Every structure is written in C-alpha cells, then in structure tokens.
Amino acid sequence: MVVLTCAFAVRSAAGFGAVLIAMTMLAFVLPVSTAVSITTALTAITSIHHLSRDWHRVAWRHFTIMALYSAVGIGLGFYLINLLNERALRQSLGMFLIVYALYAWVTAGASPVLPARWRGALAASTGISGGLLGTLFGAGVGPIYVVYFNTLRMEREIFRVTMSTVVLLGGAARIAGYARMGFYETSSVVLIVIGLPLVVIGSWLGDRVIRRLNPRIFGQLVGGLILLSGIALLVK
C-alpha cells in the first residue's frame, strides 16, 4: 500500500515513473509477472483519466509513429518473457534497474535533447525499447519515450497527453497479453481493486508535496533507491 501510494505520487508530479517505482519495490514481495501486471493495469487506468480530459490535444502523427514501433517491441517482449523463468526475470530486472539508476543520476532534473536529424532513428529505437522493456518489466517506458518527444519541442500539455496516450495504448496491449498468459488471477484482481484508492491518494500527494522538491535532488534520490534495489534483486 505504501509503495503504490508513493509510486503514483511520483507519477502525478513528474507525469511518469509510477511503474518504475512500484516494480522496484513490489518485486521483493511478489513474483515479477504479478507485479508487472498489477502496475500496468493501474497505470492504464490513470492514463484513461488524463486522456479523457485532453484527448483533442494529442499529436496524432507522432503518436502513430511511436505506437507502431512500440508494437514491435511489445511483440518481442512477449516472445522473450515465455523463455525466461522467474529467477531470470528477477535478475534481468535487477540489471535493468542498475543501468536505469545510472541514467537517472546523469540526467537528474532534465532529459537529454538530441538533434532533430536523428528523429527517425530515435523514434525506432525508443519505440521498440519502450515496448520491449515495458512488456518484460513494466518499467522505464516513460523516460525512454521522453527522449524522443523532447526533440519535437511540443507544448507541455500536448507533450503530456501524447505520451500518456502512447503509454495507454501500450499498456492495453500488454494487459491483453498478460491476461492471455494467465497473469490476472483472482489475487491479482483483488490487488488492483485495493490499489485504486491508493492511486487517488498518491496523485493528491504528488500534486501537493513532491512538486515542491528540487527536481535534481529528487531525481538523484530516486536514482539511488533504484540502484540499491537493482543490486539487491541481483543477489536475492
């Protein structure tokens, strides 16, 4: 309950990051597959709320490009998830978290902006990577997509709703795949129901508390937590 509340407080303040924070902690007490399916469903629900308010501001052309590449990554992720057992998934998650923590420290407070001439290659790499990592771990999707969307110089609200739409579509595709693989058992559904009010509480806290923190310090603290968690998962 504490993990989900804090995770969605971060998402409310930053626009992304709920799944990354939640997966980091929940993987210690739940199977990776269960943690991924629960956090993906809760994030999709919050994305529906955001989209319902500002759907008319979505940059549909860029959304379509990213959605197509993400679909490739999602398909690749479901192929790989069938080949990995729980221990392999946990260790892979640990390595991913360590790499991501180092990235978060380097870019704390601001994501790197790349030249526009790399836009096509960047769209392919971020879309496929986001779909792949989102399927395997449910984590890291938001910051990966931010790298691409930052090159478009969008207005803040257009940026947020377009990225939320990409995340929602990818989440819906992953939920369908997880359901087909039997990840949504009765216990998982119960955890999702319990998590819904925690999402509301966390969003409220994010709006009123976390946005007041210095972005660079906040990014470094989150990076440190993720790094320690990644190391712990490797040795667990």
Per-residue pLDDT tens over the stretch 124-166? 888 898 888 778 876 556 667 776 776 777 776 787 788 778 8
Confirm if 45 and 26 have CB atoms less than 8 A apart.
Answer: no
| Cα dihedral 200, 202, 205, 210 sign | negative
Compare 177 and 226 and report the one with higher pLDDT: 177
CA distance 21 to 39: 10
Q: Which of 62-66, 150-154, 164-168, 211-215 has the lowest mean pLDDT?
A: 211-215
Q: Which of 52-61, 107-116, 136-145, 219-228 has the lowest mean pLDDT?
A: 107-116
Amino acid 90 reads R
- 20's enclosing H/E stretch is helix 18-26
Query: Within 10 Å of residue 86's Cβ, how many Cβ atoms?
Result: 10
CA distance 38 to 144: 21
The candidate with the shortest Cα–Cα distance to 39, out of 51, 54, 27, is: 27
Average pLDDT (230-235) is 73
Statement: the pTM of the whole predicted model exceeds 0.75: no
Per-residue pLDDT tens over the stretch 70-120? 999 999 988 888 787 777 777 777 787 787 777 767 765 555 555 667 778
pLDDT value at position 133? 79
pLDDT value at position 102? 78
Compare 75 and 230 and report the one with higher pLDDT: 75
Per-residue pLDDT tens over the stretch 156-197? 678 778 877 887 888 888 888 888 888 888 888 999 999 999
Q: Categorize the per-residue pLDDT at 221 as very low, low, confident or very high, splitting at 50, 70 and 90.
A: low
* Domain map (residue ranges) of the chain: 2-235
Q: Is 174 helix (H, G, I), strand (E, B) or coil?
A: helix
Q: Categorize the per-residue pLDDT at 69 as very low, low, confident or very high, splitting at 50, 70 and 90.
A: very high
